[in-house]
Amino acid sequence: MKVSLVSKWTMVLCCLLMLSACSLFEKEEEATEGSIYGMITDAVDNKPIVGAQVQITPTGRTVTTGSDGSYTITDLPVGSYKMQVSAVGYVRDSRNIEVIAGQQASGDMTLQRTSVNTKIGIDKSELNFTSDNQEQILNISNLGNIGALNWKFNSIPEWLVVSETSGSIAIGKTKAVVVAVDYTKITQSISTYLILSSDDESVSIKINVSKSGSSEGGNDGGSDTDGDGNDSGDGSGNDGNDPIYGSEETGFCGPISFDSNYKVDFVSCKRNLNEVLIQLKVTSIGADRTFRYYPSIPIAYDDMGFDYRPKVKVGSDNSYYEGYYTSFTFPKDIPLNMYIKVEDLNEESTKFPRMILKFNDEVVMTLENLIWAK
């Protein structure tokens, strides 16, 4: 009986030791892991960044932040990790983080916005007016992220009424501007462009004005394409935009609109395969003047509906101007050659109904109905 009793207690003791060992093993196993929890926010306004990618190495695990900018990474072995965070529109950043057994490490991070210049956003690239619809609303937005957008309209026709011609818009904000046509000052349909510019770029808004009751009305006896509100046409098909300079050998050009301090003469418009080269002679009248060239706005529209960004050079320079604010000087009363090059032209294009170039803050050159030599 004594032996049997000892054996029984021995078995009980062994079971207790085994249970204790299992419990210790489980505790030891639990203590080898931890987790990371954090919030990813914008460094400027401290708002949460949704959809940011959080990756830790050396495991390579990646998670995405939720609608509140938070994320959690669980079941991480104890140790040191490198956390990298990236998001669209933000500069990638990283930091080291220590995971402690049984604890939740803080992985909060703020991201700096990518350095982007103030950028103009418009909700319409074309405004259509009729006698029944004489007013439109144009929404202007600041799509950049480094400061206020200072904007203004350039060379507004006298028949076009704009509620605000300039202003400043904060990051991410939108300004509604009312654009209306004064029908008492026009006598025919008009198609022109309104230029909206900022410190870094410019955009063009096409303005279509129908003299008839609807934008699809018939021919009302001629249309104005230089935007002055006066009909050069006679109702016989000549709309005032027919070529007035050049020949079959040199190519043709319609009206040229530019600063009155300069005299501009058309020389030639020639095509070589998918490239068109236009030559003008430009003279500064009565004084030396310096121009800054804005390559963001130049637009050439072909007759197939495509638009292009022309390049410009002046005088005997070998290279065309493509950089922002490139400057060149026109000496007093001395004509200089200006070359305008358009590349990658559509094969079926036959002419440029309109071309727009911007110089300085408010000086815009427009060339109508450019037809290259055959």
Residues 225 and 228: their CA atoms lie apart, in Å, by: 8
pLDDT at residue 10, as a whole number: 64
Give just the sign of the alpha carbon dihedral 117, 118, 123, 128: negative
Q: How far is CA 279 from CA 158, 274, 297, 316, in A?
A: 31, 17, 19, 12
For residue 101 the two structure tokens come to 């057994």
Asked if 177 and 162 count as a contact pair (C-beta separation under 8 A), the reply is yes
Residues 229 and 282: their CA atoms lie apart, in Å, by: 26
For residue 173 the two structure tokens come to 């904000």
For residue 243 the two structure tokens come to 């070529």
Residues 228 and 368: their CA atoms lie apart, in Å, by: 14
pLDDT at residue 366, as a whole number: 84
Supply angle C-alpha 276, 279, 281, rounded to 5.
Answer: 165
Mean pLDDT by 10 residues, the chain (374 residues): 55 62 51 88 86 87 88 91 86 90 91 71 87 89 80 84 90 88 86 78 81 49 46 38 68 83 88 90 86 66 82 72 62 87 87 80 77 82
Closest to 339 measured CA to CA, from 374, 293, 305 = 293
pLDDT at residue 214, as a whole number: 46
Rg of the chain over CA atoms, in angstroms?
34
CA atoms within 13 A on the CB side of 37: 4
In the block, tokens 């350039």 appear at: 154
pLDDT at residue 52, as a whole number: 87
> What is the reported pTM?
0.39
pLDDT at residue 319, as a whole number: 64
Peptide bond into 353 cis (omega under 30): no
Asked if 308 and 344 count as a contact pair (C-beta separation under 8 A), the reply is yes
Residues 244 and 232: their CA atoms lie apart, in Å, by: 12
Asked if 108 and 38 count as a contact pair (C-beta separation under 8 A), the reply is yes
The burial class, CB within 10 Å (0-12 / 13-18 / 19+), for 43 is middle
Residues 225 and 214: their CA atoms lie apart, in Å, by: 18
pLDDT at residue 72, as a whole number: 92
Asked if 333 and 284 count as a contact pair (C-beta separation under 8 A), the reply is yes
Asked if 276 and 302 count as a contact pair (C-beta separation under 8 A), the reply is no
Query: Can you name the residues that pair with 62 across neighbouring β-strands?
Result: 55
